[in-house]
């Protein structure tokens, strides 16, 4: 996974006004319950997703597709892979936070079955903005 770090950090920096540092990604790679999925296209790092499972709860920390590769279904494929893997690892619910104004991401999450379950006021910096809290139930009774 570490061989993808340069590409991931570049995508991160191009995708977010308040990007994670390289060190933050390294910390998550070292964490026992986290997993990083990388999507490669034509030998290039095209996107990634990072999530974490803690007992029955899973959290999507980060997902991004490089600008040149967007609207081709890669974001959906990454998210579906995350959901399937979290389910296999025993998670019953996955949640995430997303900037309220991030229409592409909110649409992606809704299309995958996530619903808004709360709001965190002024959660983000640069610019200050509310986060929508979204979740999805992963188990079927």
Q: Between 59 and 138, whose beta carbon lies closer to ligand COA?
A: 59
The catalytically annotated residue of 61, 97, 123, 129 is: 97
Establish if 50 lies at the interface with ligand COA (CB under 6 A): no
Q: Rounded to an integer, what distance in angstroms lies between the CA atom of residue 65 and that of residue 46?
A: 6
Q: Is 89 in the site for ligand COA (CB under 6 A)?
A: no
Q: Is 2 in the site for ligand COA (CB under 6 A)?
A: no
Q: What 8-state DSSP symbol labels residue 2?
A: G
Using CA atoms, how far apart are residues 119 and 97, in angstroms rounded to an integer? 9
CA 27 to chain centre: 16
Phi and psi (nearest 5°) for 105?
A: -70, -45
Residues tagged active-site = 97, 109
Residues forming the site for ligand COA (CB under 6 A): 15, 63-65, 70-76, 98, 102-105, 107-108, 111
């Amino acid at each position: 996974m570490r061989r993808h770090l340069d590409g991931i950090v570049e995508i991160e920096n191009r995708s977010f006004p308040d990007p994670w540092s390289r060190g933050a990604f390294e910390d998550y790679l070292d964490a026992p319950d986290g997993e990083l999925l990388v999507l490669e296209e034509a030998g290039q790092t095209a996107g990634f997703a990072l999530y974490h499972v803690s007992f029955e709860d899973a959290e999507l920390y980060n997902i991004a597709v490089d600008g040149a590769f967007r609207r081709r279904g890669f974001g959906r494929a990454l998210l579906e892979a995350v959901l399937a893997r979290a389910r296999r690892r025993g998670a019953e619910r996955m949640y995430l936070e997303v900037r309220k104004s991030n229409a592409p991401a909110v649409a992606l999450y809704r299309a995958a079955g996530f619903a808004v379950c709360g709001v965190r006021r002024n959660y983000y910096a640069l610019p200050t903005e509310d986060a929508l809290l979204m979740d999805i139930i992963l188990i079927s009774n």
